[in-house]
Amino acid sequence: MNLNLVASTSTSASFEIKNCECFYLKNKADLYLNGEKIFTTDENVFTITDLKPNTNYNVFIEDTLTKDKSPILNIKTHFEVASINVLDFGAVGDGKTVVTAFLQAAIQCCPTNGRVIIPEGTYLTGPLFLKSDITIELKKGATLLGLKERENYPILKGTITGTEKDFYLGSWEGNEADCFASLITGIAVHNVNIIGSGTIDGNADYDTWWFKAKEKRIAWRPRTIFLNSCKNILMEGITIKNSPSWTIHPLMCEELKFIKLDIQNPFDAPNTDALDPESSKDVLILGNTFSVGDDCIAIKSGKIDISKKNPVPSENISIRNCNMKFGHGAVVLGSEMSSGIKSIFIEKCIFDSTDRGLRIKTRRGRGSKGIIDNIHVKNIKMDKVLTPFAINSFYYCDADGKTKYVWDKEKLPVDDRTPYIGEIYIENVTCTDAKVCATFMYGLPEQKIERVEMKNVSVEFDENAEEGYADMMSFLEPMKRHGMYFNNINHLLLKNVTIEKALTDKITTLNVDDYAN
């Protein structure tokens, strides 16, 4: 067994066990810190907390059955200039007193390379704004609880007009738009850690933020955590739940790590995606557990108006050892992808009871900069997923989503509104108890999907499956236990692909130029 350090702060360290298993270990492992056993884990990713700053430690793990040990890993925690406690600034954790100003004071007063400690208790608060070069630690039993009333939430304007350029501030579904500040808001900050065993509770429900979810009321709904133009951000260990809309939304950020998070939203809570990196790069999503009311992970890059003014793609995003229990899609690309999405690596994850596994959503009108390319999916286990693989170039979103321009299956001219899907590689994936369609991939006739390779993929259907829709496309008929469907693809390679208990042909290919199996 090999053990890698993936993140560290002054008081915590996160590790990944290198193996071929998905999320869970084959056997449990005991963790030793400085020769002393401190806990047993059954997961590939774990975090050690309550360490001392600027201190050397050695770490190794031992398989509880085989007694195999990993090599000893020597680590050193980060230097810390000071730690401050929010209680010393007047905050009280009684869940009744509004303590926004006291928490914000602690954040603002924390020295560079210092740590803000939020101890056990429930802290009722409005939006808090981050500053650079600090760590915020939520101790076990600590909860930041969001206020329900809109009047307690500042408004982030969609655009701030500058003398030399405009600044993109507020965002809603891929457009510049006025939105409420989020419970945790970071604007152009860097070197920030949000860590610990505590909870951030957006406190949303159907009487507040989820009521008339698609209706703008004063401004668009906040996220729980919104990061705009930030760099080198770590979120580690915390639980986040009851988000007003998307739970974590990084926009135009770089060097992000999301490790060992537990994100929980009700299955029917509208638009409560877990994690939506938008126009962001160098992102690590590792060891997380998601159960939400929309997509678990949705990678985006804005709509066409943004891509014309400030095209920033999402790129170099790694998703590993995550457990996605419920959601509309496990890993989704789009549909707001007008600035491009490229170099995405999805490995060693579990997709359990999501509507779709890998899902790519686009449509005419996303624009010629809307390029999805170099997508890799490897070593995935899916169970009870309606459609394990879906690529839809006719996704019927937005006000014009059901117009003939979007749904027309005839070849239209390629122009500056035409998106592009490049190369997709899928390998070593097992799907059990699938429901609707094993694979549904439908490219544009005028701009076909360039390449799809699927190797060592097995799909077994649930014999009791009911009808459903493979994806959201106008005039698409419902399906049940449908085999693999491919339409408008330049190059298609299927190697060691098996389909069991299908009610249709196992593989259907239409308008595929180069097909090999």
The DSSP 8-state label assigned to residue 268 in this structure reads: T
Helix (H, G, I), strand (E, B) or coil at 73: strand
Question: How far is the C-alpha of 479 from the C-alpha of 139, rounded, in Å?
Answer: 48
Beta strands in 370-479 (DSSP E): 371-383, 387-392, 420-421, 423-434, 437-442, 449-461
- Residue 460 has φ and ψ, to the nearest 5°, of -120, 130
Total count of residues recorded for the chain: 517
Would you state the pLDDT for residue 61? Answer: 98
pLDDT for 489? 98
Q: Same fold for the domain at 81-281 and the one at 295-517?
A: yes
In terms of Cβ atoms closer than 10 Å to its own Cβ (0-12, 13-18, 19+), residue 228 is: buried
- Three-class SS of residue 152? helix
- DSSP code, position 163: S
Q: Which CATH architecture has domain 2-76?
A: Sandwich (2.60)
Provide the CA 509 distance to its chain's centre, in angstroms. 32
Choose among 390, 492, 490: nearest CA to 441: 390
Query: Rounded to whole angstroms, how far apart are CA atoms 510 and 517?
Result: 15
Of 167, 148, 155, 82, the closest CA to residue 117 belongs to: 82
The model scores a pTM over 0.95: yes
CATH superfamily of 295-517: Single-stranded right-handed beta-helix, Pectin lyase-like (2.160.20.10)
* Catalytic center residues: 294, 328
Distances (CA, A) of 28 to 25, 99, 513: 6, 42, 48
Fold of 81-281: Pectate Lyase C-like (2.160.20)
**Residue 155, CA atoms < 13 Å, CB-side half-sphere:** 14
CA 66 to chain centre: 35
Sign, CA dihedral 355-475-304-444, equals positive
For residue 46, how many other CB atoms are within 10 A of its CB?
Answer: 23
Nearest to 310 by CA among 274, 339, 341: 339
Cβ 186 vs Cβ 233: under 8 Å: yes
β-strand partners of 240: 200, 263
3-class state of residue 89 by DSSP: helix
Helix (H) or strand (E) holding 307: helix 304-309
Q: Are the C-beta atoms of residues 342 and 370 closer than 8 Å to each other?
A: no
What are the residue ranges in the chain where pLDDT is below 50? none
pLDDT of residue 164: 84
The whole-number pLDDT of residue 166 equals 86
**68-76 long-range contacts, CB within 8 A, separation 24+:** 68/1, 69/1, 70/1, 70/2, 70/3, 70/17, 71/2, 71/3, 73/3, 73/4, 73/5, 73/15, 75/5, 75/8, 75/13
CA 505 vs CA 64, 481, 502: distances in Å: 46, 10, 7
* Measured distance CA(443)–CA(426) in Å, rounded: 17
Residue 462 phi/psi, 5-degree rounding, is: -80, 120
Q: What is the 3-state secondary structure (H, E, C) of 333-378?
A: ECCCECCCEEEEEEEEEEEECEEEEEEEECCCCCCCCCEEEEEEEE
Q: Where are the domains of the chain?
A: 2-76, 81-281, 295-517
